[in-house]
Structure 1
């Protein structure tokens, strides 16, 4: 073989090895998040965001989820958000998921979640939702004090007696997302964080209702070329706009801002390339960033 053939084969082998290794790696992303009207006692508070465990996929990454949980415990955030896809379509994964999350609630950290499409056994929008699976998962999570929100808001009060609202929007697939219903209990002008699984739900959030919102679902594209997030498996497989990760521009109504995490797991196959699993830590501030 010519040197060029050796080079191509070598790069291919390196790429395959890297794709298999990356799901076991973990990075911590840190950002400031602007929350208008944030009370002074919440200024500087840390919010942790986890998503897309996908426990149950062959070769799943429970070790990565476990290490993310350990890092959250080290940080001791004021709030832990989990943006869906706990499992990969199977009830067998429910118990391992609760075992992974128990250290957070045992440590007294407030944990809130929304479900994702895989929690309904819906890899695609054409699949039939398994409502019983979602019910069993919700029940198991709430038994360990992870509160699951579906189109509702909760008032979070800190030791100073000042409140911040957390809004949880239902799953886009199978069509359970209702942003207006989710926001109905939030007083006008009250500080809030809005959580959803699928970034598509963000498009229907009323203007100025979600100045700080978070989502998962995309895995950052999961497999992408070094040219950037626009060159990913996700963009090749889907038509239209795709919002892979980080702060999203050009999506949603005026006055709203969305962060999409790459999450911790994988879909279809347990591989990642140029797209490391992510734990996200936000520092809340009333100041514009």
Structure 2
């Protein structure tokens, strides 16, 4: 079984806190600058696959239109959707201002994952995991996130979807806020991302203009010191059901170390059966509004509760469902702070 640990920034080098969850850490000035200067990513450009990529985006655009048509029932959404009940409760309980402050109190959480199969060259490799930014939900959010990111230095940044707040329609201010965030990212290998259920096909070009290489059921190989690991990214499996994990993993050698980016934890069983080593996802917001002790009031995900937030494992695969940065439905968080995850890979 793979060993998984979480450590605090202020732990002495080489020591780990052997516990399932650690308290989030505010501030990030202790993160060292990456020492890797020969990191190369291949497979980022797919000239031979552009036709397939365009065909997939056309399929996704069709499913987006179908899904958005089903969401036009404003009457249902206003009175019967679980989020609508939650909004009314927050208002009646006079919790709105307090929960809104909680939603802006973004934390930085350091994680250490240990794997016997990790190539030696990647011992100490650092990953910035961002998810569910919903960056236009509040005008102050982008500035707060950017202020934290500017002092974090990593080897690669992975973004697992939901860049915007709205599901239907377009908002140019989203890209303005995203620029404030992405210009503060210090990543030697750049930024890889995937799409979530709040994202649209039309967002792909804008994200790539901002420096995010969007993986759409694709994978890339990260090389360093003559060794490599693979990063695979699948399209949204929740609303649009455009994921194709076999296609994303197809180029990857069976024995290679694999990290999967998925928007939701729904693919945990299939990914574990296909020998994925580390599964990174979001979507659930950790519950966003939770009962004391962390129980989610609403999850919006049809997976067992153990996969809805934080660390988990399946067979020999480690997984992390990040609570994410932003919010959806209503600008509120309770017992579930917004989070930036900084992951360090270690060879066990």
2:140 is paired with a residue whose SS is: helix
**Cα 1:148–1:154 shift into 2, 3 Å:** same
Structure 2 residue ranges without an equivalent (≥5): 1-92
CA distance in 1, matches of 2:291, 2:241: 32
Is 1:244 matched with 2:323? no
Displacement of 1:113:
0.5
How many residue pairs get matched?
Answer: 252
1:233 is aligned, of 297, 301, 321, to: 297
Displacement of 1:138:
0.6
CA distance in 2, matches of 1:109, 1:83: 16
CA distance in 2, matches of 1:151, 1:178: 6
1:155 is paired with a residue whose SS is: strand
Displacement of 1:265:
0.8
Q: Which residues in structure 2 correspond to 1:119-198 (within 5 Å)?
A: 119=199, 134-158=200-224, 160-172=225-237, 173-198=239-264
Displacement of 1:204:
2.2
CA distance in 2, matches of 1:36, 1:283: 14
Displacement of 1:106:
8.2
> Which of structure 1's runs of 4+ aligned residues deviate more than 6 A?
237-240
Q: 1:73 maps to which residue?
A: 150
**Cα 1:240–1:74 shift into 2, 3 Å:** closer
Deviations 1:165-220 (A, max 9, x none): 11101111201111111111111111121111011122322525222110000011
Displacement of 1:248:
2.4
Displacement of 1:75:
1.9
Displacement of 1:229:
2.3
The alignment's TM-score, normalised by the length of structure 1, stands at: 0.79
Is 1:40 matched with 2:120? yes
CA distance in 1, matches of 2:206, 2:163: 12
CA distance in 1, matches of 2:145, 2:97: 23
Displacement of 1:35:
4.1
2:344 is paired with a residue whose SS is: strand
C-alpha RMSD of the superposition? 2.4
Structure 1 residue ranges without an equivalent (≥5): 1-11, 120-133
CA distance in 2, matches of 1:29, 1:36: 23
